[in-house]
Amino acid sequence: MAEKQLDDLFLDTLKDIYYAERQILKALPKMAKAATSPELKAGFEQHHTETEGQVERLQQVFEILGKPARGKTCDAILGILEEGKEIMDEYKGTSALDAGLLAAAQAVEHYEISRYGTLKTWASELGMKDAAKLLDATLNEEKKTDDSLSKLAVSAVNLAAAA
Ligand SMILES: [Fe+2]
Ligand SMILES: [Fe+2]
């Protein structure tokens, strides 16, 4: 068997984030429904729309590689989303629910930022400029989402939780 190379790692990691994004796509409407703060609800809804575009970008990267768009089970995202679900169950009806949801959402964004940062770098190293551009566009969306969640956390949500 041939030794595995960076392009194998790139494809495997692409499948990992493709799987993760599709799980996130399913989780975001539930998080939006659970959130009580209108800003947080709107934020989750907006990121759901963005995530649809991110899935399409990943499909384009698979196309560039000439590979079928296929996911590979990502235990990390399943764990992070499971923790989010626990918050929804355990803090339902409490003033701390939004703070918990927000923290769970930031854990998701940080996972994505880590993956897209890596994939973008590897795409560049492998000479795939167009793929790097697509991955960078999503990386920037994830960073922006993380920033707006941080801003929301210090304003509305934490105040509500402390009240
Ligand atoms: Fe995403
Ligand atoms: Fe995201």
Cβ of 138: how many Cβ atoms within 10 Å?
26
Residue 123 Cα to ligand 2 middle (Å):
20
Q: Which ligand is nearest to the CA of 20?
A: 1
CA of 103 to the centre of ligand 2 (A): 13
Q: What's the gap in Å between 16 CA and the centre of ligand 2?
A: 14
Tell me how far the alpha carbon of residue 3 lies from the centroid of ligand 1, in angstroms: 31
Tell me the residues surrounding ligand 1 (ion) with CB < 5 Å.
Answer: 51, 54, 112
For the segment 84-132, what is each residue's pLDDT rounded down to a tens digit?
A: 999 999 999 998 999 999 999 999 999 999 999 999 999 999 999 999 9
How far apart, in whole angstroms, are the C-alpha atoms of residue 160 and residue 58?
37
Nearest ligand, measured from the Cα of 21: 1
Instruction: Say whether 31 sits in a helix, a strand or coil.
Output: helix
For the question of whether the overall pTM of this predicted structure is more than 0.75, the answer is yes
Q: Which of 70, 96, 109, 113 is nearest to 157 (CA)?
A: 96
Please tell me the distance between residue 60's alpha carbon and the centre of ligand 1 in angstroms: 15
Task: Give CA 90 to chain center in angstroms.
Answer: 23
Query: Which tens digits make up the pLDDT trace of 56-85?
Result: 999 999 999 999 999 999 999 999 999 999
Ligand nearest the Cα of residue 146 is 2
> Per-residue DSSP letters for 51-106?
HHHHHHHHHHHHHHHT--------HHHHHHHHHHHHHHHHTTTSTTHHHHHHHHHH
